[in-house]
Chain A
Amino acid sequence: MEPRVKFKNFSRALRALLLPFLLISLWQWLSYLGLLRPTLLPSPLTITQTGWDLLKTGELEKHLVISLIRVFQGFLIGAGLGLILGLALGLSEKLRQATQLLTEFLRPIPTIAWVPILILWMGIDEGSKITVIAIGSFWPVFLNTIQGVRQTDPHYLEVARVLEKPRWVLLTRVVLPSALPSIFTGFRIGMGIAWASVVGAELIAASSGIGFMILYAREVSQPDVVLVGVAAIGLTGLAIDTLLQKLESALLKWNSHVP
């Protein structure tokens, strides 16, 4: 890498880190002055210490892994269904009309509102937790896939028509690649929602997971553990999204310069 580019990246990272650093410093300073009650808001140093302890005992990792497995299972189901149904509805105007009322009725229902009925139907095991996550990740993938498919440039479809391409070539070589950037946006939003809804899912009589850890710590009045959990959710979410972004730019190299 050229020195100039390196410096540019360095100064960009510096700028991004500046605000969090200032906020945490201020927070630590106020705690040091005794202006923040440790039972409500422990100092950043205390939280870091607790986080480190939880990491050393392996408790934090255990809860994180369990939550991650739930999220991936739920996402796989939700995003998978969203992709398949989105493709079908994106391709067929008639199917869209037939399902329009239903989807518009279901879409505004918040994921959390499904929790009680899911408990009734599926009990309090993994099934209902994963289903909550699946519902959350379904919508963005579903809606973005429909939009991506529908926005395929008619000029490209005309090229395929002139060359008398069969339907499956049209789908795999033209429609799908053209919709892929939009589908990926759906994946990223869907994954974000899936991860964010893990706490809600773990409201359902969980005995493990990062959401459970937070809720349990609140009950036993350990605000530092609560905040370690919150920070872990934020950092893991950031890490997942960064990974997805990397995957996206690797898969969609062609898209980087398209206006």
Chain B
Amino acid sequence: MSRDLILQGISKTYANGVTAVQGIDLTLRAGEFVCLVGESGCGKSTLLRMIGGLEPATQGSITSDGQAVTGPGLDRGMVFQDHRLFPWLTVEENIAFGCGESLSPTDKQRSVEEHLELIGLQSFRKAYPHQLSGGMKQRTSLARALAAKPQVLLMDEPFGALDALTRIHLQQELLKLWQKEKITVLLVTHDIDEAVFLADRIAVMTPRLGTFRQVLDVPLARPRNRNEEGFIGLRKTLYDQFF
């Protein structure tokens, strides 16, 4: 059984006739980090939501963990741009919400501890979301998604609402988590720098057509330096696709 995430001929047409996504083929190998880059409204979020099982595809098939995707599943975790933490739950309670329902209270507690440590927010365990900074909220949101032990993490512009410095910090932390947890990540972004810094492969979406213009390999070794030649060259290649 393949643990890859396989998209075959995915299309999405809304009832009003607008086509958001058209004939997308992509295979995410287990443990791979793929970024989906495109302008606003190019259908990248729609594609992510279809993989998450939140919206059905009009055509094509999605296979995750060897099974056809027909709805949400614990094998696929999601992190949204608006952190979506429950304001009535503390940091630890929000993370606990991510844990599977079958977990015993002790296992749940252990998982919460583990994920609090992972994001370094042990001292904020009792804080409510409104008491956190934007970066802390997004870290907690990430921990909540990871607590469900997904094989694939789907991230929809997770750092889009953060300031530039916090964003860079979180990108580095995300890479560490990805290497530690050995999960597959599909991250949607419109930040070319972010894509080049994070991804093994970058899929560039065409505006309005809902198709891939190109799927690009990133042959740079990690940790990546944003100012070295290879990085700059790749960034230029990507910029040229848009401007």
Task: Give A contacts to B, CB under 8 Å.
Answer: 155-156, 158-159, 161-166, 169, 173-174, 177-178, 180, 252-255, 257-258
Q: Which residues of B contact A159 (CB under 8 A)?
A: 78, 80, 84, 86, 97
Given the known interface contacts A158-B54, A169-B101, A253-B128, the answer about A163 and B148 at a Cβ–Cβ threshold of 8 Å is: yes
Return the 9 tightest CB-CB contacts between A and B, nearest first. A257-B130, A177-B88, A254-B88, A254-B128, A162-B78, A162-B72, A258-B87, A254-B87, A161-B72
Complex alpha-carbon distance, A207 and B101, angstroms: 56
Q: Which residues of A contact B131 (CB under 8 A)?
A: 257
Contact of B86 with A164 in the complex, beta carbons under 8 Å: no
B210 interface contact, C-beta 8 A: no
Complex alpha-carbon distance, A155 and B73, angstroms: 17
Q: Which residues of B contact A163 (CB under 8 A)?
A: 72, 74, 97-98, 148
Contact of A174 with B72 in the complex, beta carbons under 8 Å: no
Given the known interface contacts A156-B84, A254-B88, the answer about A162 and B128 at a Cβ–Cβ threshold of 8 Å is: no
Contact of A173 with B101 in the complex, beta carbons under 8 Å: no
Q: Residue of A at shortest CB range from B96?
A: A173
Name the distance in Å between A158's Cβ and chain B's nearest Cβ. 6
Q: Which residues of A contact B89 (CB under 8 A)?
A: 173, 177, 254
Name the distance in Å between B94's Cβ and chain A's nearest Cβ. 10
Chain B binding surface SS class: loop
B38 interface contact, C-beta 8 A: no
Complex alpha-carbon distance, A186 and B89, angstroms: 23
Task: Give B contacts to A, CB under 8 Å.
Answer: 52-54, 72-74, 76-78, 80, 82, 84, 86-89, 97-98, 101, 128-131, 148
Q: Which residues of B contact A255 (CB under 8 A)?
A: 87-88
Given the known interface contacts A155-B80, A156-B86, the answer about A162 and B130 at a Cβ–Cβ threshold of 8 Å is: no
Name the distance in Å between B52's Cβ and chain A's nearest Cβ. 6
Complex alpha-carbon distance, A235 and B100, angstroms: 50
Complex alpha-carbon distance, A164 and B80, angstroms: 16
Contact of A258 with B130 in the complex, beta carbons under 8 Å: yes
Contact of B54 with A161 in the complex, beta carbons under 8 Å: yes
Name the distance in Å between A216's Cβ and chain B's nearest Cβ. 48
Q: Which residues of A contact B52 (CB under 8 A)?
A: 162
Complex alpha-carbon distance, A162 and B88, angstroms: 19
Contact of B73 with A174 in the complex, beta carbons under 8 Å: no
Contact of A162 with B54 in the complex, beta carbons under 8 Å: yes
